[in-house]
């Protein structure tokens, strides 16, 4: 797939590299959750493509549910205010929950989600993030599974968007405003 328009910049992570890393993450989750059935909580809309691919490579009985949260709106910078747009349908009590995020930036949304979901008494709660942006300390963010660490720039593709566009790109690229 070539450039769709002038806003699609340099490809940072190509389709093949994404696919290989998703398989590695799925294998790690399969090992870590052996004998259990994890519940993948995809954070919409950005994590939709990632959670779909990830679920197919986890070799365990797996369920999914989805939440939609907003801290960006149509902007390329977080507003600093997190709001839940769509809540979960399933009960988390005594479930092994993995939050599946497309990208962790400031950690604000993730911190909010953790507190919100922890109050529902899951047996365990971990995070699988496809991307960590910038020089964030993954240890401080307490991320169990990380796909890639990227520079502090705005990216699109593989579920990540600007004003709902570019989610369909099979790779991750710089966004050129």
175 pLDDT more than 80:
yes
> CA nearest 172: which of 157, 154, 160, 153?
157
Provide the 3-class DSSP secondary structure of residue 34.
coil
The answer to the question of residue 89 being in a domain is yes
152 is a catalytic site residue:
no
What's the number of domains the chain is made of? 1
Contacts of residue 162, defined as CB under 8 A and 6 or more positions apart, other chains included, come to 7, 74, 76, 154, 156, 175
- Which member of 105, 142, 152, 174 is catalytic? 105
The answer to the question of residue 154 being in a domain is yes
The answer to the question of residue 79 being in a domain is yes
CATH for 57? 3.40.50.2020
Residue with the two structure tokens 């240890």: 139
Question: What pLDDT does residue 83 have?
Answer: 82
Q: What is the pLDDT of residues 55-113, one digit of tens each?
A: 999 999 999 999 998 765 555 555 567 788 999 999 999 999 999 999 998 788 888 89
The answer to the question of residue 2 being in a domain is no
Residues of the chain above pLDDT 90, percent:
74
The answer to the question of residue 3 being in a domain is no
37 pLDDT more than 80:
yes
Residues of the domain holding 45: 8-175
């Amino acid at each position: 797939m070539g450039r769709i328009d002038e806003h699609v910049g340099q490809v940072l992570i190509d389709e093949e590299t994404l696919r290989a890393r998703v398989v590695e993450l799925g294998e790690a989750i399969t090992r870590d959750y052996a004998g259990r059935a994890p519940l993948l909580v995809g954070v919409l809309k950005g994590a939709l493509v990632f959670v779909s691919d990830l679920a197919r490579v986890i070799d365990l009985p797996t369920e999914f549910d989805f939440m939609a949260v907003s801290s960006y709106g149509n902007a390329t910078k977080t507003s600093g205010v997190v709001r839940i747009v769509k809540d979960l349908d399933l009960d988390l009590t005594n479930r092994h929950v993995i939050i599946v995020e497309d990208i962790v930036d400031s950690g604000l949304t993730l911190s909010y989600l953790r507190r919100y979901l922890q109050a529902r008494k899951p047996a365990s709660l971990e995070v699988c993030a496809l991307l960590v942006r910038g020089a964030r300390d993954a240890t401080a963010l307490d991320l169990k599974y990380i796909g890639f660490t990227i520079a502090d720039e705005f990216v699109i593709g593989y579920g990540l968007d600007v004003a709902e566009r570019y989610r369909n790109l099979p790779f991750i690229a710089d966004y050129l405003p």
